[in-house]
Chains A and B, each alone.
Chain A
Amino acid sequence: MVSTIPITPVKLTAKDFKSDQEVRWCPGCGDYAILAAVQGFMPELGIPRENIVFVSGIGCSSRFPYYMNTYGMHSIHGRAPAIATGLSVSRPDLSVWVVTGDGDALSIGGNHLIHALRRNVNLKILLFNNRIYGLTKGQYSPTSELGKITKSTPAGSADSPFNPLSLALGAEATFVARTIDSDRKHLQSVLRAAAEHEGSAFVEIYQNCNIFNDGAFELIKDSTTREDHLIRLEQGQPITFGAQQQFSVTHPAGSFGLKVQEGGEALVHDATVDDPAYAFALSRLSGSDLGTTPIGVFRNVQRPSYDELITKQLVDAKAQADGTPEQMLDGLLNKADTWTIL
């Protein structure tokens, strides 16, 4: 847990985190499940409600802060990581969460996302990825599969999608994970690990939009298909999956990447490997087709957070303070070639 954030002895419950606002997502939206999971998990942190802030951008997911009985800001499209950076850096006593979507974080706000991750700002970034623009009624997004037919692409989209985890890893993220809206237990376990991480934690949450992109993640949700396609990453455990755990993720000699094969010697998962190439290779196992999709914590390494480094500079400089602020200001104004008229 981040040491600058206070802990309360008061036991809070999920109910304490529900605001008085009416939740206005479409019935059946995956966002409900995520909201419930977050509200249910928050008491575990032991952080006083008033020290928690949710900052969001624009899009369906970005309504999230209104429903949390914490401090919150529903800002503008794509800019939540930038706003949250200013808040987090200037207030190390706050637990700052960013809620964003695939359009918000990866399209209009792409620059802020990568720079927040590069700096390792102490933010917990939850990206609700539904692979579609929902609030604007169904245009393709930067995570939509190539050839996606939508209102704005009747002949199919012509641009290749981002792999959000590969992007985050390329941006030097220190914590990268993926989870699914419908798997509450897994979702909460990933959030727990993210909250414990010092620095930026990037969590991609596969979220179903039942209106404009229903069933996008069905392959890894449906009980009849998921065992053969979903790879659960567990720290220190061999990476195997399948109904009989018959598939392994292996690292063939002479290859840059990882491979899925039947049988063979499975790699043992270690998210703390310093070389990001490992987590990157894991992130490349899945494409748009979700054929073999790992979930869990891909990468979890330590690097000083931006907040910590900036705070240290401030603390060191303030230790040089020599007088009241007014006296120091007088000193500063006079610190030049001055002359006196009598």
Chain B
Amino acid sequence: MSAGAKRVEQLDRVVIRFAGDSGDGMQLTGDRFTSETAQLGNDISTLPNFPAEIRAPAGTLPGVSSFQVHFADYDILTPGDAPNVLVAMNPAALKANVADLPSGADIIVNTDEFTKRNLAKVGYAVSPLEDGSLADFAVHPVALTSMTVGALAELGVAKKDGERAKNMFALGLLSWMYSRPFESTLRFLETKFAKRPDLVAANKAAFQAGWNFGETTESFTVRYEVKPARMKPGTYRNITGNQALALGLVAASVRSKLPLFLGAYPITPASDILHELSKHKKFGITTVQAEDEIAAIGAAVGASYGGALGVTTTSGPGVALKGETISLAIALELPLVIVDVQRAGPSTGMPTKTEQADLNMALFGRHGEAPLAVIAPKSPSDCFHAAIEAARIALKYRTPVILLSDNYVANGSEPWLLPSADELPDISVEFTTEPNGEDGRFLPYLRDPETLARPWAIPGTAGLEHRIGGLEKADKTGDISYDPANHEFMVRTRAQRIEAIEVPDIEVEDADESARVLVLGWGSTYGPIGAACRALRQRGLPIAQAHLRHLAPLPANLGEVLAAYDKVVIPEMNLGQLAHVIRAKFLVDAVPFNQVSGLPFTAATLENMLEDVVKNG
């Protein structure tokens, strides 16, 4: 696979979208292209977009699955607003995605799938390849399927297996077009199909055929290069938010010296965390796939009571079911991490689409005064550190912590500068092993004066036998108490101990400190907000950005930060849940900006909105 003699053009950034039928392997193709791109040293951000149905009827619009990758020779924050290149494996993929393309974009279509029947399935009376409707774009018709089958014929590969390798042909072609190193893909194929040498050969041959096609065909006249980005020195890998979150939980177990116990019930888009953690028993991790969401958190509470780092992972509908048990954990004052990978609701909603609409539930969604800590990661790799932070707070303050991820960060990916395990925070805590009261009594609700945490005395500790439960507890002794003054004290103390959790101050990015408008975000909107702010500053419009990782308790300096600006704008993928909190708590006339389409904000949307605020107030 030597470089061809074609013209080579330099680009600083490219956005490619691979789109096809759910069964066409577009997620895999995108993953491999991303990995090749990472190897090259570009900065990357990716966004998969797929239906909840495993295989919707072939060739239909609901069955379209896509994977978008944005790569550049500088650091980027989002998977890109609009693709420069669309790979459309069938008419449905073209139809579902063409509206997102800017004029001049390249479209590579698999002409073999543009049959009368397939066109009719998505309502094309005439093929868009022939009716001039794609005149604004550079269309590259490629007979992907038949060329793949042809290339594999001499290997004796069955036609069906040959057809299935067409995604590797497409990957080979795109890898040629963008001068990607392909060794990691060949290695990957060898591992993936280790038990089927015939499929290794077929997929490698399909990849090579795609590469060679690019080199020889006249329909591609230019080859592109995107130089490596300048990034901090160190070792990197590409990682999705769910992977990073799972690894963060492993790290939390290692750095707390406690066995990790995960109770989970399968739910999109959180199941991958269960899958990942179930592979790491070597670290002493126990995963229980429970009979339901309630049992999953129940088992985690039981394990926490026994001295493990108890964790449960789910999405919004699961958190709703877990509410009563979270309330129990608040009364028991035991460590617990609840991971909510948010998806679009209400009810089943859109399980594979993103939203930030569980903030209210996380902050307030329980009976009684039931406060807990809430934190949200801002990017895929930040899920790693956010998981450790959630565990730190849970263990030190003996409280449930809700970690609010969402589908956008969970399935999106970016390069991650690998930390060294030794440099991660030490989050270990001590179990109580000696009586803490007079006459050798043990007082399970005698608090640490600083953290207000109660002692964690686990079963098996002689002399500290005690009973806890959901009934109101008397201060210090933990006996059942209906005393009015005691309840007042305990309710206020539970609120106070969450407020007393030490969290870092919020930082403001305000390049020349001349901004009058502050944009405040939380969670996964960090990327698009950051990209929009950069674009505005480049155009000479000052804007300040602050991003909340801790949503409960809020950073101590937040009020001061908000008061320093004339205008505060809060973009959220909900109908203004953080904005409500900020307005209520700080009496700041914050302006909500909301999108609930199931898709992340584009940088352009936010740039336009913020430009208007900066210019017109």
Contacts and interface: CB of A to CB of B under 8 A. Distances in A.
A93 B288 contact: no
B295 A111 contact: yes
A73 B418 contact: no
Contacts of A89: 261, 286, 288, 299, 303
B1 interface: no
Nearest to A70: B465
Interface stretch (A190-198, A205-213, A217-225, A326-334): A326-334
Contacts of B232: 341
A314 B281 contact: yes
A91 B465 contact: no
A221 B327 CA distance: 42
A50 B465 contact: yes
B236 A339 contact: yes
A25 interface: no
Contact of A86 (B282, B284, B299, B422): B299
Nearest to B334: A73
A74 B41 contact: no
A276 interface: no
A69 interface: yes
Interface in A63-88: 65-66, 68-76, 79, 82-88
Interface in B447-468: 459-468
B233 interface: yes
Contact of A82 (B38, B283, B299): B299
A90 interface: yes
A19 interface: yes
A333 B418 contact: yes
A253 interface: no
B229 to A, nearest CB: 9
A57 to B, nearest CB: 10
Contact of A51 (B235, B251, B294, B460): B460
Given A79-B325, A94-B459, A329-B251, A342 B286 contact: no
* Interface size band for A: 35 or more
B328 A93 contact: no
A327 B421 contact: yes
* Interface SS majority for chain B: mixed
A83 B301 contact: yes
Contacts of B325: 76, 79
Contact of B464 (A50, A79, A82, A342): A50
A330 B418 CA distance: 9
Interface string A96-127: 00000000000000011001000000000000
Interface stretch (B172-180, B305-313, B559-567): B305-313
Interface stretch (A155-163, A178-186, A277-285, A316-324): A316-324
Given A74-B467, A82-B299, A339 B459 contact: no
Nearest to A79: B298
Interface string B249-261: 0110010010101
A65 B233 CA distance: 57
Given A50-B462, A91-B306, A91-B459, A329 B281 contact: no
B184 interface: yes
A156 to B, nearest CB: 31
Given A79-B295, A314-B284, A339 B41 contact: yes
Contact of B291 (A93, A112, A336): A112
A275 interface: no
B418 A338 contact: yes
Interface in B527-550: none
A86 B237 CA distance: 34
Q: Which of A49, A55, A317, A338 has the most CB of B within 10 A?
A: A338
A76 B324 contact: yes
A27 B332 CA distance: 30
A299 B284 CA distance: 34
Interface string A42-66: 0000001111010100100000011
A90 B234 contact: no
A330 B306 contact: no
Contacts of B231: 341
A14 interface: no
B465 A84 contact: no
Contact of B419 (A74, A112, A333): A333
Contacts of B280: 332
B283 A84 contact: no
Interface in B381-436: 418-422
Interface string A288-328: 00000000000000000000001001101110110001111
11 contacts: A49-B462, A55-B302, A68-B467, A71-B459, A85-B299, A86-B261, A86-B304, A94-B459, A94-B460, A336-B238, A337-B237
Enumerate the 5 nearest inter-chain pairs by beta-carbon distance, A residue then B residue, closest first: A74-B469, A86-B302, A86-B299, A82-B298, A317-B281
Given A66-B469, A93-B460, 15 more contacts: A19-B467, A50-B464, A50-B465, A82-B298, A83-B299, A83-B301, A112-B294, A318-B281, A327-B421, A333-B418, A334-B237, A337-B238, A339-B38, A341-B41, A341-B234
Interface of B: 35, 38-39, 41, 184, 188, 228, 231-239, 247, 250-251, 254, 257, 259, 261, 263, 280-284, 286, 288, 290-292, 294-296, 298-308, 310, 324-325, 328, 332, 418-422, 459-471, 479-480
